Structure 1
Amino acid sequence: MSRTLVRRAAAGLGLALAATALSAAPASAAYGGQCGSGYSEVNKTSVSGGTVFLTYNNSNGRNCVVVERSSPGAAMNMDAALKRSDSEAWQTDPGNFTQYAGPVYLDAAGRCVDWGGVIGGEWVVRTGTNCG
């Protein structure tokens, strides 16, 4: 293999790894308290145009999911989704919203949960998390 081909392959691999690292970057937004008193952020993930927050209330054993836009604006398709990993039944809050979708609540103390959301047309889902 020529040196030029090796350099091009290495450069292409470097770009692919950089793109993967950027897309896996953690969400930087702060949870806004939409789930109510006693809920604390336990996980979050980025979705195009915002952040999906998973919260938990230690006193009642309930999880809550909220999808929040980075910048409020005209109403658009959004949804917040949450379920126990051992269940088929999703709790959701679909609609056209200007700032956030949810909150969506679920009793899941001691269980793994699947959670996620959508802004516009991009879904993000995390499965089998926060199992303790």
Structure 2
Amino acid sequence: MARSRKWLFAAAVAVLTVAVTSGASQAQAAGPDDVGVMAAHKSPFNCGKTFYANNWSPGHSPSGSIDWQSYGSDAIGGETVRATAGGTARFYTTLAMADDIGILAYGNYVIVTHGDGTKTRYAHLASMVGSPGSSKSVSQGTAIGTVGGTGGDYAPHLHYEQITTGGAIDTSPTVEGVTVSLGQKKAVKSTNNCGGNPYSPEEVCGSGFSVIDQAALTGGRVYLLYNSGNSNNCVVTLKSTSLGAASPVSAFLEPQSGSRTTDSGSFAYYAGPVKKSAPGTCVKWGGSVGSSTYTSPFEHCG
């Protein structure tokens, strides 16, 4: 009998859940004997962002998972996805697993194993901060990817699961103190990573870059990063005041005997990244927040 595309996707999700959920023999809902999700989870989005958490039922697979969707005029596509609680993140993809009608299930996805043994899964990501098969330690609020629609012909959204230590899906997950039970759809405002700028210099510059120098500014800090894999330098200036509101900020990078490149304007969180390849060449770097500026001498000549 021919099966519907929806049925095949549900089957693919169930198979993948068995494959990657440690200790689980099948994708199932949490029962009274399961250990509940104990970590205090925040929204998986930047501080202040509001999106719908949709625990739609019946028909969503696995039951109890959340589809985070656009709220009002705030479109979710491309949004930064952040760990809802700290732990160890591992990165996966099913993009090489297409069957004869193109069912790709989770697409790019991340599983975070938390200190209490519970897990969260973040699926259909457009991009991830780690390559498939890699892992990294994350704190609550660490960026792990961006919202997309990978794994099928999906509108951008974030598929999100809270998984108990027994491997079951919690069918009434709680984020930001808001419980979203089966059949419910609630608007949830994020308080994740609200302690400061929601971006890190490594996140702005991208994979492979590490901070090698930095300078304080009134209202922010400018960073110089280096990627030893390709000899690229990167400069980014992060604001610490007026976050989320456009205000003057800049970043520049100048290899010795080369031209200076500057990113300058009114930005909500940061200026940059400004990247240049300068193997064996000294660089001058710096930036500004408002009237506070920093300019280095030519240095870091490796």
**Fold conserved (TM > 0.5)?**
yes
Report which of the two has the higher share of strand: 1
Give the Å deviation of 1:123. Answer: 1.5
Letter of the structure 1 residue corresponding to residue 296 of structure 2: R
1:69 alignment partner, one of 229, 239, 252: 239
Identity %: 40
Report which of the two has the higher share of helix: 1
Letter of the structure 1 residue corresponding to residue 286 of structure 2: G
Within 5 Å, give how 1:80-99 maps onto structure 2. Answer: 80-87=251-258, 89-99=259-269
The whole-number CA distance in structure 2 between the counterparts of 1:34 and 1:95 is 16
Moved over 3 A (4+): none
State the match for 2:209 in structure 1.
39
Aligned: 1:49 with 2:241: no
The whole-number CA distance in structure 2 between the counterparts of 1:32 and 1:62 is 13
Please, what TM-score do these two structures have when normalized by structure 2?
0.33
SS of residue in 1 equivalent to 2:293: strand
Q: How many residues align?
A: 102
Whether contact under 8 Å (1:79, 1:94) holds in the other structure is yes
Give the Å deviation of 1:85. Answer: 2.3
Are the structure 2 counterparts of residues 32 and 70 from structure 1 closer, same or farther at C-alpha, using a change threshold of 3 Å? Answer: farther
Give the Å deviation of 1:32. Answer: 4.5
The whole-number CA distance in structure 2 between the counterparts of 1:63 and 1:109 is 9
State the match for 1:79 in structure 2.
250
The structure having more radius of gyration, on CA atoms, is 2
SS of residue in 2 equivalent to 1:60: coil
State the match for 2:301 in structure 1.
131
Letter of the structure 2 residue corresponding to residue 105 of structure 1: K
Are the structure 2 counterparts of residues 61 and 32 from structure 1 closer, same or farther at C-alpha, using a change threshold of 3 Å? Answer: closer
Q: Deviations over 1:51-71 (max 9, x none)?
A: 100000011110000000124
Whether contact under 8 Å (1:92, 1:104) holds in the other structure is yes
State the match for 1:23 in structure 2.
none
Give 5+ residue unaligned stretches, structure 1.
1-29
Whether contact under 8 Å (1:85, 1:127) holds in the other structure is no
Instruction: With a CA cutoff of 8 Å and minimum separation of 6, indicate the structure with the bigger relative contact order.
Output: 1
State the match for 2:230 in structure 1.
60
Moved more, 66-75 or 43-52: 66-75
Give the Å deviation of 1:130. Answer: 0.7
Letter of the structure 2 residue corresponding to residue 76 of structure 1: S
Moved more, 31-40 or 53-62: 31-40
The whole-number CA distance in structure 2 between the counterparts of 1:36 and 1:119 is 22
SS of residue in 2 equivalent to 1:59: coil
State the match for 1:105 in structure 2.
275
Q: Deviations over 1:42-95 (max 9, x none)?
A: 1101111111000000111100000001241421111110011233x2111111
Give 5+ residue unaligned stretches, structure 2.
1-199
Aligned: 1:117 with 2:292: no
Alignment root-mean-square deviation, CA: 1.3
